[in-house]
Amino acid sequence: MDPFQNYTVAIEEIHHLQKLDAPSGTAISLAQQIISNSRKEGWQLDHAEENEIPITAKREENVPGTHTVSYNSDIDSIEIKHTAHSREGFALGAIIAAEWIRDKKGVFSMRDVLQNLT
């Protein structure tokens, strides 16, 4: 979307009330990926400068996780959204990561786990 400068990008994440960190790691990861492919230089929680991506973090009852990346212009809006309906997927991901990392040494991310599943 970087060539389309008439669009502004923003990220919104919503999680359950017990989640203490804000923004979530997923929202930060999304922002970093956008930054590496755009003219944006960073991100800020809530109020961002023109060269930054604003991230809005909301905490609501019974929300496992929702992340939305939106591009808005005077003409239209484009949204990419992921909504988790339960924590089951997160638990399964933790099990897969634990099985994958067994007998390995070093520092890894979930990206390492997912890239090596196939």
What are the pLDDT digits (tens) for 20-34?
Answer: 999 999 999 999 999
Q: Choosing from 15, 47, 82, 105, which is the catalytic residue?
A: 15
Active site includes 19? yes
Give the whole-angstrom CA distance, residue 57 versus residue 23: 5
Q: Are 42 and 55 in contact (CB under 8 A)?
A: no
Q: Is the pLDDT of residue 118 over 80?
A: no
pLDDT tens column, 61-105: 999 999 999 999 999 999 999 999 998 888 888 999 999 999 999
Give the whole-angstrom CA distance, residue 33 versus residue 69: 11
Q: What residue ranges do the domains of the chain occupy? A: 1-85, 87-118
Give the residue, 93 or 42, on which the prediction is more confident.
42
Instruction: Give one word for 109, left, alpha or beta, with left for phi > 0 and alpha for psi -120 to 50.
Output: beta
pLDDT band for 38, please (50, 70, 90 cuts): very high
pTM surpassing 0.85? no
Eight-class DSSP state of 51: T
Q: In what order do the strands lie in the sheet with 65-72?
A: 42-45, 52-59, 8-15, 65-72, 77-84
Q: What does the pLDDT read at residue 90?
A: 84
Q: Is the pLDDT of residue 117 over 80?
A: no
Q: Give the containing element (helix H, strand E) for 6.
A: none
Q: What does the pLDDT read at residue 111?
A: 86
Active site includes 15? yes
CATH for the stretch 1-85: 3.30.360.10
Q: What does the pLDDT read at residue 19?
A: 92
Q: What does the pLDDT read at residue 58?
A: 97
